[in-house]
Structure 1
């Protein structure tokens, strides 16, 4: 099988995604409804989702708020999110409150 776009992420799920994911060098904060905050690193991101790595393994609730810091550290984007999957500290999230998100 030939791959026409070499910039596409190498993932067994990439053919099922609505938008392509790209590596991003940034961080963020996850905010629970209780107000508790957790820092994370963004592993990759698309217009409607992201794969994040928590600083420590914690079981996340289904819904929460995330704040992403732009790679140049000049902007913060905040949106509602939903946990799609979780494997230890690695979490796939769906961004809910924005049609698209760009850092």
Structure 2
């Protein structure tokens, strides 16, 4: 069985600047209005993530996310941009990040 990185390299539709890694962690999406929504991070790379929202909502173009590291020791706060969305599943680009130790 091929690894995810090998599959991404061999699939021309999966060409990416950075490899993606499956993660199972949670996060919070924060809109400009202050409204917050929980999500699960399905996979993540250095510049982006695929998230599953707890309820289907149309995401704005830009927002802030807070993602907890899988071991629970760090919180990453990032400005983000919606790249694509299909129902509750969305791809986001991480624009800037600040890591906070918990």
User: Which band: TM-score by shorter chain?
Assistant: 0.7 to 0.9
Q: How many residues align?
A: 95
Distance in 1, Cα, partners of 2:68 & 2:14:
25
User: Runs (4+) of structure 1 moved beyond 6 Å?
Assistant: none
Deviations 1:42-64 (A, max 9, x none): 00000000000000000000000
What is the CA RMSD across the aligned residues, in angstroms? 2.1
Q: 1:7 to 1:49 in 2, by over 3 A?
A: same
For structure 2, the 5+ residue unaligned runs are none
Q: Which is helix-richer, 1 or 2? A: 2
TM-score normalized with structure 1 length: 0.83
- Structure-2 residue corresponding to 1:26: 25
- Structure-2 residue corresponding to 1:14: 14
Deviations 1:42-87 (A, max 9, x none): 0000000000000000000000000000111121110100000000
TM-score normalized with structure 2 length: 0.84
For structure 1, the 5+ residue unaligned runs are none
Q: Which is strand-richer, 1 or 2? A: 2
